[in-house]
Amino acid sequence: MIRPLRSSDATFDEPGEIVAGLQQAEKMISPKYFYDERGSQLFDEITRLPEYYPTKTELGIVQANIAEITELVGPQASLIEFGSGSSHKTRTLLENLDQLAVYVPVDISEEHLLQSARQLRAEFAGLEILPVVADFTKPFGLPTPSIMPLRNIVYFPGSTIGNFTHDAAHDLLEVMHHEAGEHGALLIGVDLQKDPEVIELAYNDSAGVTAEFNVNILRHLNREFGADFDLDTFSHSAEYNEPEGRIEIRLISSRDQVIAIGGAEISIAEGEGILTEYSHKYTLGGFAQMAGRAGFRVDRVWTDADNLFSVQYCVRQ
């Protein structure tokens, strides 16, 4: 049986945080509530959609540059993946990194995390895999592996850094800086600014999986916090805000209604939106500046031929 290390912060917050978000001038729900078991499964489906370019583009970048990545990481490293999910893209690293000491997948969705860890242990029988259940936006404890790593590599694939406001992304990079430790580094996926039509298509897929993923956040709140959202009265919206360089994802109410959650009543007007996610797209220079403020120096950048996406290797300053 896999027994994960559990952070004291590895629980979804009490309804107070959700209520506070819904009481703001622009109603919002933190995107961390996407990732219950069903939400994690739906996101895995999203990554395989034809419109969703980030996953396949990033995987191609890593595969094309794996020899250089392996050389930079070096032998006997600890690979610490923030928000590991199914760890699909991580397999390329696990197959190629030199004498990897341990793989530490970190996620707040325990059931999905343990299922993925079991699958990886079957595939990589000689590799120590030590999952950690934690909210990775806050510092957390690392497990003690059997082989002491020579250095820590924090791995944050996908475009997830873009889901945070610039201030929150900076704070997260500081957590990563802490977890990387002395002589550590960060390997991170960063989505790039591009034609807005390409971006909007990625978040409005024809199969409606992203819409279902978005609405599932309300299902999660109903189940875990006793909210009474009527899921049939909300629809998915994803539009690119070009001045801010980000996609903005909302749930739009089809009627006037009052939602009960955590002892509070929230009035929502017809046509009003609840913000569930930002996805910021960066320039290379813009991301380098933010990483620098958090204590990282961008050492290498790899992109695809169309400059849709980047994988960046950052060292602690």
pLDDT 10s digits, 215-259:
999 999 999 999 999 999 999 999 999 999 999 999 999 999 999
Residue 4: the pLDDT is 66
State pTM to two decimals: 0.89
Binned at pLDDT 50, 70 and 90, residue 1 comes out as: very low
Helices 15-22 and 209-225 sit at what angle, rounded to 10 degrees?
Answer: 120
Per residue in 106-145, pLDDT tens?
Answer: 988 888 888 889 999 999 999 999 999 998 999 999 999 9
- What burial class does residue 87 get, using C-beta atoms within 10 Å of its C-beta: 0-12 exposed, 13-18 middle, 19+ buried? buried
Pick from 97, 100, 90: nearest CA to 70: 97
Binned at pLDDT 50, 70 and 90, residue 89 comes out as: confident
